[in-house]
Structure formats: structure tokens, C-alpha cells
Amino acid sequence: MVVDEHYVIRIPDNLPLDACASLLYAGITTYSPLRYFGLDKPGMHVGVVGLGGLGHAAVKFAKALGVKVTVISTSPGKKKEAVERLGADSFLVSHDPDQMQVAMGTMDGIIDTVSASHPVLPLIGLLKSHGKLILVGAAEKPLELPVFPLLMRRKIVAGSGIGGIKETQAMIDFASKQNITSDIEVIPMNYVNTAMERLVKADVRYRFVIDIGNTLKAAYNLLALWFLNLSFLFKVCLLLLDKNIHGFYSLVVLNLIYLVLSLLGTQNFNSILYLNLNK
């Protein structure tokens, strides 16, 4: 594979490739606005709306930056996960008016990862003066933006999507230093449809990673098996026509060995197959 050097990200050794993969999307999408909008000063208070792939990355990066993090979610059941496992400082149920009222005007910024339509007025209320609501979820329908609450305390609603290569490298280096990876579930290619169904139900913590390398190897092996079987049948016919029973048995044994090797998915299988076909 040939890649322009300007588009290559160096992955430090301590980051596993699979758990690092989604940092290149969820990581940079949340790290970038935290940095760009200055929500990266220790002691600041940042809200994270939605605890999914983007949300859990936002919590990890914000915490690593020394920021106080409050997860805002519609699901009270996510509190334990947010606070105990991901290390958020507090948890707000967005449809609980009492909890929301107490938190009014306390946040320097909010990373809103929700891509479904949702009201932003309560979120704007959570912000301090000059607070920043950053939308990183791509809602399809336009949001209803109340103007007066923005005007009165000079608040900002902004959008942010991924980040440039330089910033992505900075994010990966920061993740390496802080030992941040995404929480993932590695799946083979043929699990994709099931994965899609589970995604709809938000049944993944927090990203599926498709193991393309092994999937391709398996697919290639499958293809090789087809060729093997074709050559096997062809040779069987030839040997039976010659009444070469010794040759017939040795071919069967040899091909059984190839079969076992291919099922084990050894990397040398392809070259063995190649030798066999050209013998």
C-alpha cells in the first residue's frame, strides 16, 4: 500500500492497533474541540452529552486533560459505567428537571455527541457565561436554536468534525502518553450485519472494529480452497484414468494436509498451495 507521507499517522508501540483504530475518528472528533475551544484547562468543567463511541472518548480525553467531567444522558442506567468505569466526576439525567436545575450555569463547555434530534436549550442553560456548546454529532434535522439565551451570556454553539492530520498525530501522541484507547469489540467481516443490528440497539461498548487483515486472509484462503478442490478433482480424474492408485492416495493425503493447514489459516498456506499447483 502506498500512502502520501502527509497522510500517515505514526502509532506509538504502546497503543494496540485495534483499540487505537477508533481514536482516529472518535478520539480526534472529541479531542480536537476540547483543544480548539480551550476546554482543556485543568479545573474546568465540561459536560459530555451521550455515552456512546464519541462520548466515552470525550470522557477519557477530558479527564486526561485534568478537566472535571459530567456525563449528561437520557439513560440513568449509564451512571455506574460513566462514573465508576470511565471516571466521570458526575452524571446528569437530562430529563430530570431537578438535577438539571442544580447544574445550571456550571459548565465551561459541553461536547454534545448526540446525532438524534434533541433540545439544546437545556444544554445552553447548563453553560456559564461565555460557555461553549460543541456539536460533534451530525443531526440530520436542523436544531431549534433559541437566540436570547445565547445573547444574554455570550454563549457559543459550534460544530466540529474530526480534525487535521497534525492535530490527529497530536491526539495519538497524547493518547499514547496518557494510555488512552477506545473500548472496542473486534469482529470479523462476516459479523457486520449482526453488528449493524446491535448498533441500532446501541448494544456495543463502544466501537466495533472489523479485523480486515484476518478477514481478508480467511477470504483468500477460502478462494484458495476452491482452487485446491478444482485441481484435486482434475488430478483425481487424471490418476483414475491412468489407474495410478498409489498416486491417487498420496494426492488425497497431501490435499488433506493442505486442507488442515488452510483451516488453521497459516500464512504459508498460500505459498504451499502455489507450489502444489505448479508441481
Q: Which positions touch its own copies (CB under 8 A)?
A: 33, 36, 121, 135-140, 142-152, 154-161
- For residue 247, CA distances in Å to 239, 275, 278 come to 7, 17, 16
Buried b (16+ CB within 10 A) or exposed e, 43-70: ebbbbbbbbbbbbbbbbbbbbbbebbbb
The helix (H) or strand (E) run that includes residue 258 is: helix 245-264
Nearest to 61 by CA among 84, 83, 81, 87: 87
Strands 107-112 and 90-93: unpaired
Instruction: Report, in Å, the least distance between residue 273 CB and its own copies.
Output: 48
Q: How many CA atoms lie within 13 A of 74 on its CB side?
A: 8
Instruction: Give the three-state DSSP class for 260.
Output: helix
Q: Smaller CB distance to its own copies: residue 138 or 264? A: 138
Q: Smaller CB distance to its own copies: residue 129 or 190? A: 129
Q: Smaller CB distance to its own copies: residue 151 or 200? A: 151
Instruction: Report, in Å, the least distance between residue 136 CB and its own copies.
Output: 7
Q: Smaller CB distance to its own copies: residue 80 or 130? A: 130
Q: Smaller CB distance to its own copies: residue 158 or 230? A: 158
Instruction: Report, in Å, the least distance between residue 112 CB and its own copies.
Output: 10
Instruction: Report, in Å, the least distance between residue 172 CB and its own copies.
Output: 20
Instruction: Report, in Å, the least distance between residue 135 CB and its own copies.
Output: 5
C-alpha–C-alpha distance, residues 155 and 70, integer Å? 19
